[in-house]
Amino acid sequence: MAFQNNLGSMYNWNFWNSYKLPQPILVIDEANRFSRLGNSLNGGQELLKSFLDWLVLNTKEQKSFHAILTSSDSFFLDWIINDLSKKEAEEYFEKHVLPRYECKELEGKFDQVCKITGTRMLIIDMYVGEYERSKGKLADRDFSVYELEYDKLYCGLNPNELHPYKSRPPLWKDDDLIKTMEAIVNAKNQGYILERELIKEIGSKQVNSLINYNFLHRRPTKRFAYDIKCLSNEAILTAMNMPSVRAMEDHLSLVSSNKK
């Protein structure tokens, strides 16, 4: 790959560590322009996916450098963390991720994998990597992203013990988060809930606080919801990712069991 060929002069982590030097940092400004590449014809999407694969390879796996993407575009965050359509995610899974990990065991099983990963590229990549390292014995509850989301929700059910975010204490109670999880799980086939409906249920301050603490993701416009079909122009809310939805299901099962 051209990206990798141009990296030949850069040293790996062992070199920098032996001299007690930090790894170099690749700073990419105006990263919002990647969205133009992804939407372009003539192989733009394939080129973008190749570039993102290259970043993951050299930052996470080979530890050649760190990468920072910066942007003055307020919508770049929506673009970078949103999910692909299921068709695009399956293509990425089958044609890019599985060959890179030489993982033939998961070929044709995206419907199964998607139930825990969703359609976000980074999470799909992480799942397959962990699946390979576990020699095919990775249970959904052992997936690192699921574990993080489960632990985060556990802390969220005890809001008084959370460290204040930017000096702002959490404004919800445990029942508010339980009602939020119920709304998200009940709408999982739809993929979202309307913000105004949740506000009616638990209150505006509580909803905004849950968003600030990253228990919910607000999508202010359906133009950036590539993975779901939303007919409303209203603000919609989703879980942060699919592993979070699965973690919500398990927490609700535990809450239900404790009430019996």
pLDDT digits 0-9 by tens, 56-74: 777 766 677 777 777 665 4
For the segment 188-207, the average pLDDT, to the nearest whole number, is: 94
The better pLDDT of the pair 179, 218 is held by 179
CA distance 210 to 2: 43
In the chain, the percentage of residues whose pLDDT exceeds 90 is: 46
pLDDT in tens, 90-111: 998 999 899 989 999 999 999 9
Which residues are 134's β-sheet partners?
Answer: none
- Per-residue confidence (pLDDT) for residue 231, from 0 to 100: 64
In 10 A of CB 85, how many CB atoms? 13
Q: For the range 201-209, what are the long-range contacts, defined as Cβ-Cβ under 8 Å and sequence gap of 24 or more?
A: 202/172, 202/176, 203/176, 205/171, 206/171, 206/172, 206/173, 206/176, 207/237, 208/171, 209/168, 209/170, 209/171, 209/172
Predicted confidence (pLDDT) at residue 44 exceeds the cutoff of 80: no
- What is the average pLDDT across 76-101? 80
Tens of pLDDT, residue by residue over 220-240, are 655 555 667 766 778 889 999
3-state secondary structure the chain: CHHHHCCCCCCCHHHHHHCCCCCCEEEECCHHHHHHHHHCCCCHHHHHHHHHHHHHHHHHHCCCCEEEECCCCCCHHHHHHCCCCHHHHHHHHHHHHHHHHCCCCCCCCHHHHHHHHCCCHHHHHHHHHHHHHCCCCCCHHHCHHHHHHHHHHHHHCCHHHCCCECCECCCCCHHHHHHHHHHHHHCCCCCCEEHHHHHHHHCHHHHHHHHHCCCCEEECCHHHCCCCCCCCCCCEEECCCHHHHHHHHHHHHHHHHHHC
Q: Dump pLDDT digits (tens) for 158-173.
A: 998 888 876 789 999 9
Radius of gyration in angstroms for the set of CA atoms belonging to the chain, rounded to a whole number = 20
Average pLDDT over residues 4-21: 54
pLDDT band at 193 (very low <50, low <70, confident <90, very high): very high
Domains, in order of start, for the chain: 2-143 (no CATH), 146-259 (1.10.10)
A 10 A CB-CB count for 117 gives 28
Asked whether the predicted pLDDT for residue 210 surpasses 90, the reply is: yes
pLDDT higher than threshold 50 for residue 1: no
Question: Contact at 8 Å (CB) between 243 and 127?
Answer: no
Residues composing the chain: 260
The yes-or-no verdict on residue 194 having pLDDT over 90 is yes
Residue pair 6/57 in contact by the 8 Å Cβ criterion: no
Rounded to the nearest integer, the mean pLDDT of the chain is 82
- The model's pLDDT over 117-129, given as tens digits with 9 standing for 90+, comes to 999 888 898 899 9
Spatial distance between the Cα atoms of 143 and 134, rounded to a whole number of angstroms = 10
